[in-house]
Amino acid sequence: MITSLLCLFLAVGCGPDAKQSMAPDLIVFAGDAPVHADRIELPVSIINWGAVPSSTTQLHVYINERPIWNDSTTRTLLDAEVPPLDPKTSIRFEVEIALDELEPDSHYYLLLIADALEDERNGRNRDYSGFSVDEEGKLIMGCDPSAPHDGRDGATDPLFDEQWHLENTGQRAYAAIRASVGEDLRMTNVLSSGTPTGAGVRIAVVDTGMELCHPDLAANVETDASYNFNANDWHNAEPAEPYLPWATGDHGTSVAGIAAAAAYNGTGGRGVAPGAVLRSYNMLAAVESEGAYYDSLGGSETDPDSTLVDIFNMSFGTLPGEFGVDPNEDQLLRHGVTNLRNGRGALYVKSAGNAFNGCGSIRRPANARIGCSSSNSASSHHSPYLIMVGAFDAQGTRASYSSAGSNLWISAPAGEFGYNFGAIITTDQVGSDRGYHVIANYGVPPDDVDNPHGNYVSTFTGTSAAAPNASGAIALMLEAQPDLTWRDVKYILAKTARQIDADIESVQYLVGGTVYTAQLPWIANAAGYRFHNWYGFGAVAVDAALELVAGHTPDALGAFVEMETAPMADVVSIPDNDGAGIAQTLTVEGAADDANIEAVTLHVDITHPQTNDLAIHLTSPSGTESILNPIFNDALAGNADLAWDLLSNAFYGESPNGDWTMQVVDAAPEDEGTLNEWSLTFALGTHPGS
C-alpha cells in the first residue's frame, strides 16, 4: 500500500514539518464560466481532503486582483461564503461577478480561507490561479497559450548563460556567490554540437502537473498524452490537461523544464534534453493517490497509457518510516523494467530526498556530519529498479539538504536556494503574477530583460531538481542508442560518473571506548567503482556517458538473476554502547563464477527500544564495506521493531560468492536489544570485461 503521504522533494524537507506536502487541506478550482452580457457565472469546486475539521468551519472564497502574499493592497472583487463542507467531501457552486469589474488582459486569483486554519503560508489558506481575461474579454483557465512570449532571437536561450548546471563558467545565476567553474553536467560536446537532444525519447513527469502551453515546454509536449487524475473532481477540467490551479508554483512545470525545456527558441534557458518528448501525470495532486501512483508509473494501458513511457521522472518521496518491501510497488517497478520499452525496461529516476538537515526529533552532533534521515529509510528506496539521485551544488559538493544513503546511484546538479548560492534556473508557471517567484523576493525578477514575462525562476532546488537533470541525461543516451536496456543505462552512468568532493574524510567517534567509524570516505570497490553514500558513484558526466554509449553493445550485461540467501537466524544481543558491535558472517555460494553484483538488499529484523541508536554495516567477501544505516538515523526515531530492507550499491560489479559480514552497532548508552534475523538478496549479471 502506498498509504504514506507522498511529498515533494523541493527545497523544504519531507517530514512532519514539511511545508509542501502533497495534499493541501483544501483545494479550490474554477471551471469554465458561461459569459453573459454583463456578468460571468464562475463554477468553483472545493475539495476538503479531510484536514479541515468540521462542517462548522467557515469557508470563504474571494476573487482578488492580485495574490495576497506580497501585496496587501489587492482589491477583493468578490467574497462568497461557502456552504458547510465535511471532511472528504467536495462541493461545487457558482459565483457571479460583473464583467465591468474585470479588466481585459488581467489575471485574477481565487483565495480560499478557512477560519479554523490560521497559517496562510503553509498551503492551507492560499491563493489559486483563478482565471485570466484576454483582450476580447474571453476567460482563460490555467496556462494561456496566447500569453506574450519573449520574442527574442530564436537562435539563443537568454537565460542559458546563467544555467551553471549545464555549463558552469563561474556565473552567479542571480545569487550572491559565483559558481565554481566546471561543476556541472560535463556536457560541453553536447552543447557545442547540438546533438543528441533526446529526440523521440518519452519522459513522463510524474508530479503535481505541467503547464502544457508554457512557451519553453509546448514544443516538446506530446499531444493528448498527459493525464489529469482530477478531471472528474475539477469541474470542466480536461483529462489531458494536468495543470495545477494554484498560483504559487507548479512543481511539475519546473521539473519538466530542467529535463526538456526547448533550446534555441529565444526564450528562457534550456533543458538537458531539449528534444525529448514530455508528458505529465499529476499524480501528486491526485485526490486518489494510490491508483494514480500505479497508473502513472507504467501500470496502465488506458487513461493514461503509461506503458509508452521511456523515462519516469519521480521528483517526490514517501515520508520516512516505511521500511518493508511493498509487494505491489515492487511488482509495478519489476513490470516496468521487464516489459516496457519492448522489454528493454523503463528508467525510473527518483529523488534521494532532502532530509540531510531535517531532524524531526532529537538532533545529535553526529547528524550535522552524517545527516538526519537516510535516503534508504523510505518505502521503495531500496528497490534495485530505481535510479536514486542525490544533489550537488554549484560549488561541486553535496547540496546542504541532499539525503545520503548507500541506495544512491548517481548525483546531479540542483544547487542551494538561489540567494547566496545558485539554485536551478528553469520554467515557472506562465506569467509574472503566478509561480514560485510570487512568494520569493529574490532570484531572477519576473520583469528582468531575460525573463520579461515571469515565465522562469532561478530558485528551484532540492533533489527534485537533481532527478530531472539525470532524466535528461538518460534521454540523450537513449536517443544515441535506443536499444540500451535499463541495466545498460545504470551501468554506463556508474562507469562514467565523475568523482566530486574527493577528499571527504571519514567520521569517527569513541563509542564505549572503541573507535567507531560512522561515515566512510570515498571507497573503491573490488570491481573498480568508486562509491560514497553522499553521491552514489558520483556526478553524472554526460559527454563521458555518451562516449561509452557509442562503444557499448546493448544488452551485454548477461541474464538478470535474482538470488536470495537463506536467513541467518541466531538471535543475539547487540552490545550496548559498544563501537565494535555485534558481527555475524553469512557464506554465499552457488552464484556463477563470472557473476557480477548489480545490487545487494539486506533484510534485517531487530528488536530494540531505540532503533535510531543503531548502525548497520555490511562487508563483502572482497572486503568492501558499506554503511547501510547510519547511527542516529532520524527516520527510525520511535520504532522499536525493525523488519527492514536496505539497499547498497557499493558492491556493484563484485562477485557475490564468499563470506559476507554484517555488523550492528548500538552507539548510545542505555536501551538494549537483539538482532533476530538477516538475509541478503542479490541482483546479478555478467559485465563486459570483468
Binds Ca ion (CB under 5 A): choice among 167, 207, 666, 682: 666
CA distances from 262 to 214, 274, 652 (A): 10, 5, 36
Site string for Ca ion, 339-368 (x = CB under 5 A): ------------------------------
Closest to Ca ion by CB, 191 or 668: 668
Closest to Ca ion by CB, 127 or 157: 157
Does 393 engage in binding with Ca ion (CB under 5 A)?
A: no
Closest to Ca ion by CB, 434 or 490: 434
CA dist., res. 338 & res. 335, Å (int): 5
Name the helix (H) or strand (E) containing 467: helix 463-480
Does 668 engage in binding with Ca ion (CB under 5 A)?
A: yes
Closest to Ca ion by CB, 127 or 326: 127
Closest to Ca ion by CB, 63 or 262: 262
Could you tell me which stretch among 34-42, 88-96, 146-154, 451-459 binds Ca ion (CB under 5 A)? 451-459
Given a contact cutoff of 8 angstroms between Cβ atoms, the answer to whether 47 and 247 are in contact is no
Does 127 engage in binding with Ca ion (CB under 5 A)?
A: no
Does 295 engage in binding with Ca ion (CB under 5 A)?
A: no
Closest to Ca ion by CB, 479 or 613: 613
Closest to Ca ion by CB, 47 or 255: 255
Could you tell me which stretch among 186-194, 384-392, 422-430, 554-562 binds Ca ion (CB under 5 A)? 422-430
Nearest one of 54, 6, 106 to 433, comparing CA atoms: 106
Closest to Ca ion by CB, 92 or 149: 149
Which one-letter amino acid corresponds to residue 237? A
Could you tell me which stretch among 185-193, 423-431, 466-474, 486-494 binds Ca ion (CB under 5 A)? 423-431
Closest to Ca ion by CB, 433 or 645: 433
* Burial environment of residue 6 by CB neighbours within 10 A (0 to 12, 13 to 18, 19 or more): buried
Report the site for Ca ion in 544-603 (rule: CB under 5 A). 576
Residue nearest Ca ion, Cβ-based: 435
Site string for Ca ion, 606-645 (x = CB under 5 A): -------x--------------------------------
* Strand residue runs (E) in 123-184: 126-133, 139-140
Closest to Ca ion by CB, 165 or 270: 270
CA distances from 417 to 346, 424, 442, 460 (A): 32, 9, 10, 7
CB of 268 to Ca ion, least distance (A): 4
Per-residue burial over 80-104, b = 16 or more CB atoms within 10 Å of its CB, e = otherwise: bebeebeeeebeeeebebeeeebee
CB of 516 to Ca ion, least distance (A): 13
Closest to Ca ion by CB, 300 or 432: 432
CB of 211 to Ca ion, least distance (A): 9
The DSSP call for residue 63 is E
Could you tell me which stretch among 27-35, 453-461, 514-522, 525-533 binds Ca ion (CB under 5 A)? 453-461
CA 1 vs. chain centroid, Å, equals: 20
Could you tell me which stretch among 327-335, 498-506, 541-549, 671-679 binds Ca ion (CB under 5 A)? 671-679
CB of 43 to Ca ion, least distance (A): 25
Which one-letter amino acid corresponds to residue 504? I
Given a contact cutoff of 8 angstroms between Cβ atoms, the answer to whether 208 and 250 are in contact is yes
Does 428 engage in binding with Ca ion (CB under 5 A)?
A: yes
Binds Ca ion (CB under 5 A): choice among 161, 547, 625, 671: 671
CA distances from 507 to 323, 372, 627, 632 (A): 26, 15, 12, 14
CB of 611 to Ca ion, least distance (A): 10
DSSP 285-354: G-SSHHHHHHHHTT--SSSS-GGG-SEEEE-EEEPS---S--HHHHHHHHHHHHHTGGGT--EEEEE--S
CB of 593 to Ca ion, least distance (A): 42
Does 157 engage in binding with Ca ion (CB under 5 A)?
A: yes
Binds Ca ion (CB under 5 A): choice among 299, 360, 371, 435: 435
CA dist., res. 33 & res. 660, Å (int): 66
CA distances from 10 to 21, 316, 415, 516 (A): 10, 8, 11, 34
Report the site for Ca ion in 454-493 (rule: CB under 5 A). 454
CB of 458 to Ca ion, least distance (A): 12
CB of 398 to Ca ion, least distance (A): 29
CB of 264 to Ca ion, least distance (A): 7
> How wide is the angle at C-alpha 143 spanned by C-alphas 138 and 149, nearest 5°?
90
Nearest one of 579, 614, 585, 615 to 678, comparing CA atoms: 585
CA dist., res. 288 & res. 232, Å (int): 11
The count of other CB atoms within 10 Å of the CB of residue 594 is 12
Does 268 engage in binding with Ca ion (CB under 5 A)?
A: yes
Could you tell me which stretch among 103-111, 434-442, 484-492, 637-645 binds Ca ion (CB under 5 A)? 434-442
Report the site for Ca ion in 180-239 (rule: CB under 5 A). 216
* Burial environment of residue 188 by CB neighbours within 10 A (0 to 12, 13 to 18, 19 or more): middle
Q: Cell digits for 270?
A: 534550456
Closest to Ca ion by CB, 411 or 427: 427
Given a contact cutoff of 8 angstroms between Cβ atoms, the answer to whether 539 and 633 are in contact is no
> Which residues, 6 or more positions from 368, have their beta carbon under 8 angstroms from its beta carbon?
none
Closest to Ca ion by CB, 196 or 454: 454
Given a contact cutoff of 8 angstroms between Cβ atoms, the answer to whether 432 and 452 are in contact is no
> How wide is the angle at C-alpha 522 spanned by C-alphas 620 and 535, nearest 5°?
100
Closest to Ca ion by CB, 166 or 204: 166
CB of 457 to Ca ion, least distance (A): 7
Chain residues that interact with Ca ion, rule: CB under 5 A? 157, 216, 262, 265, 268, 270, 428-429, 434-435, 454, 576, 613, 666, 668, 671
